[in-house]
Structure 1
Amino acid sequence: MSSYIELKNVSQSFQVNESKVTLFKELNLSICQGQSYAITGPSGAGKSSLLMLMSGLESPTSGQGAYVKGEQRKSLDFLRPDIGFIFQQFHLLPELTAVNNVALPLKLRGDKHAEDKARLWLNKVGLTHRVNHKPSELSGGEQQRVAIARALVFEPGFIFADEPTGNLDQQSATEIADILFSCCRENNAGLVVVTHSEELANRAQHIFSLSGGKIKAQVNDVLKAVSC
């Protein structure tokens, strides 16, 4: 069953004192499950805000978003159970071990096998030997691996990652990118990455540049004509 996220004529603005700041205006974009996307552009262009809109975690100032799953067309509010989100700052709970951080989303859903599944995913991201370590005992790259395992543990249809390699050294960044793209391919998840890294962006099937309130596909967006 094909699923995709559709944004139609979405705009995002906010007030600063008495001035209105518009991040972007009347954007149209579709994100298909099973395909990978990179969103690039200068700082302050609104990339992270667009990511939040796509994932249904924020609402646009104007325009509409839809989650299309098979024959059903719903608002993006219905997307939330089907997404995993990876933050640049990891957002792991400091008092929990790696396995309990990863298991938490499943436990909140009442999954009795949460810890077993968490261990399986920690193994997939190469952290079998770190399952009982807390975030403070892990390197930045290891913490990001835990965050990826946590986002993927319930096998969501879409993964959103905001600068997932931004705080990492080059070797760790490459390893994290390898894990992220391979795990999403294995689970047929749609992947949307916001990044300043040209190297990371070039690994995506589709690359979009957000600048001056407009979004455009780059020349090397080889699958831009492929529908969901």
Structure 2
Amino acid sequence: MSCYIELQNISQSFQATQSKVTLFNNLNLRVEQGKSYAITGPSGAGKSSLLMLMSGLEQPTSGQGIYSKNGQSHSLAYLKTDIGFIFQQFHLLPELTALNNVALPLKLRGDKRAMNKAKIWLEKVGLQHRENHKPSELSGGEQQRVAIARALVFEPNFIFADEPTGNLDKDSAASIADILFDCCRENNAGLVIVTHSDALANRAQQVFSLADGQLNNPLANVEVA
């Protein structure tokens, strides 16, 4: 049975120096395992905040999120073991090799086959020949491939990617997009991408635009109050 994440009447605001800033109000959104989604919009619109809320890594000011798995509903806190997160800045540990960076999430879970699984995933992203190199010895595109392998190594139900090609040149960005979409498709993982790149966004099955507190896509499974 497919899993899904649903946000219900989500609002997010924060206190600035002299005023309250509201990113969005009463937003409703549902994303499903096995499908791909892109969130676009101007800087400061709240795209990254929305991604953090959907992944359960941040709490909304109001509203609730639901994670449905195997026909049962849970809070988004339950998502922690079922998601992978990919950042624009890679967030690799500089003292570890590519292989050990990928294996780390499995090691933290006590998986005795962590290194073998990490090798398999480095091969999937085309970096088996770089497994003993540290991040400082890799190009930006190679570092992002390691980050993708690390996010997918435990075969999560959902992958969240925040500007995954933002620091890469055009050719590297296209290559990373190929790997990201292919790997998620092969593993039936839901993919949610925040991006300023139209080329990357247009590869998703559904594209949302977040601006002025509203999320728009008339063809999407989304409502805006």
Report the TM-score range of the alignment, normalised by the length of the smaller protein: over 0.9
Structure 2 residue ranges without an equivalent (≥5): none
SS at match of 2:116: helix
2:56 corresponds to = 56
**TM-score where L is the length of structure 2:** 0.97
Q: Does 1:193 align with 2:193?
A: yes
Counterpart of 2:103 in structure 1 is: 103
Q: TM-score, normalised by structure 1?
A: 0.96
Question: Could you say what secondary structure the match of 1:210 adopts?
Answer: strand
Question: What letter matches 2:67 in structure 1?
Answer: Y
How is 1:72-221 mapped onto 2 (pairs within 5 angstroms)?
A: 72-217=72-217, 221=219
Secondary structure of the residue that 2:168 maps to in structure 1?
Answer: coil
1:78-131 CA distance string (max 9 Å, x none): 011000000000000000000000000000000001011001000000001100
User: Which structure 1 segments of 5+ residues have no match?
Assistant: none
Tell me how far 1:70 sits from its aligned partner: 2.3
Please name the residue that 2:31 is paired with: 31
Deviation at 1:225, TM superposition (A): 5.5
Give CA deviations for 1:135-171 in whole Å, capped at 9, x if unaligned.
0000000000000000000000000000000000000
* Alpha carbons 2:30, 2:221 under 8 Å: kept: no
Give the secondary structure class of the aligned counterpart of 1:64: strand
- Provide the identity percentage: 76
SS in 2 for 1:116: helix
| 2: CA distance, partners of 1:202 / 1:116 | 35
CA distances 1:154-194 after superposition (whole Å, capped 9, x unpaired)? 00000000000000000000000000000000000000000
Give aligned pairs, total. Answer: 222
- For 2:221 and 2:166, the matched residues in 1 are separated by 30
The amino acid across from 1:181 in the alignment is F
Q: After TM superposition, give the deviation of residue 18 of structure 1 in Å.
A: 2.9
Aligned with 1:204: secondary structure?
Answer: coil
Instruction: Name the structure 2 match of 1:46.
Output: 46
Q: 2: distance between equivalents of 1:70 and 1:135?
A: 38
2:87/2:164 contact within 8 Å kept: yes
